[in-house]
Every structure is written in structure tokens, then in C-alpha cells.
């Protein structure tokens, strides 16, 4: 059996490590880990106990490992782990975008503009300083 795959990948200026391993026939599962700076950002574990008796098991397990390793890399490049790695939300999937469009319904109709009564313009019998002082004292809009 192939022991595993290891790759360092630079994404958004940071180095990530992807590691995929086969635990062997006695513990038939494949595990892929995505690290950033020694911290596990994501993991995926797949059992192959249901196919342990097939003739070409070694070749099939190697293909499963390759595909799982590539899936983790694709997810990283697609931004699926950005929230955990950088504190950023991942971009919405096409399904989420479509679901948001259909669940939101039609856009709301705009509200009519508020009708305010016309304001009387006060006579300029006071100086600007007096008007401001009056406004500050009364706390009202004149």
C-alpha cells in the first residue's frame, strides 16, 4: 500500500500543508489533513472497509487517496476553509446563491417619500449668532 501524499501549497500568501495517509488493511481508512502553521484547519476520513476484499485493492485505495487529496486542495483554493484559516467567510456556493435568490422572493417595493409639511422660513430679524444661541438654549429647530 502507498503510505501517503504530502504537499505544501501557498494560498493567499500563507503556506498550507496537505497530508493524506492510508492506515492499512487492519484499519482501512484514508485520512487527509489540512494544516496551516501546525494547526489542523480541516480533516476528512474515508473508510474503505466495504471494499477490502477486492483484487486490485492497492490500486483502488491509491486512486481514492489521490482524489481525496485533490479535493482538499480544491476546497482550499475555492476558499472553503478561509473562515477557519483567516477568520473570513468562504464565498457562497452556486447553490447558496440560487437559494438566497429564490427564498428572498421579489424585491420589496420602494417606500413612498415622506411628505413633510413645508417649513416656514423665519424672518431674519436676528443675527446669525442670535439664532444659533436661541437654538442652543431652546434645543429646537427654528
Instruction: Encode pLDDT of 12-32 as tens digits.
Output: 999 999 999 999 999 999 999
Identify the CA nearest to 68 among candidates 35, 43, 32.
32
Given a contact cutoff of 8 angstroms between Cβ atoms, the answer to whether 20 and 31 are in contact is yes
Instruction: Encode pLDDT of 59-105 as tens digits.
Output: 999 999 999 999 999 999 999 999 999 987 666 777 877 777 676 66
Q: pTM to 2 decimals?
A: 0.61
Higher pLDDT, 48 or 122: 48
Given a contact cutoff of 8 angstroms between Cβ atoms, the answer to whether 34 and 42 are in contact is yes
Amino acid at each position: 500500500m502507498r503510505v501517503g501524499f504530502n504537499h505544501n501549497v501557498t494560498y493567499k500568501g500563507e503556506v498550507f500543508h496537505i497530508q493524506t495517509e492510508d492506515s492499512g488493511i487492519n484499519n482501512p481508512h484514508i485520512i487527509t489533513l489540512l494544516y496551516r502553521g501546525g494547526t489542523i484547519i480541516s480533516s476528512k476520513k474515508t473508510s474503505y472497509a466495504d471494499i477490502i476484499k477486492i483484487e486490485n485493492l492497492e490500486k483502488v485505495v491509491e486512486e481514492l487517496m489521490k482524489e481525496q487529496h485533490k479535493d482538499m486542495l480544491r476546497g482550499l483554493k475555492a476558499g472553503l476553509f478561509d473562515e477557519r484559516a483567516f477568520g473570513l467567510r468562504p464565498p457562497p456556493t452556486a447553490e447558496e446563491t440560487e437559494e438566497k435568490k429564490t427564498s428572498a422572493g421579489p424585491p420589496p417595493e420602494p417606500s413612498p417619500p415622506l411628505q413633510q409639511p413645508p417649513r416656514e422660513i423665519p424672518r431674519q430679524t436676528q443675527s446669525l449668532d442670535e439664532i444659533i444661541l436661541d437654538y442652543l438654549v431652546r434645543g429646537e429647530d427654528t
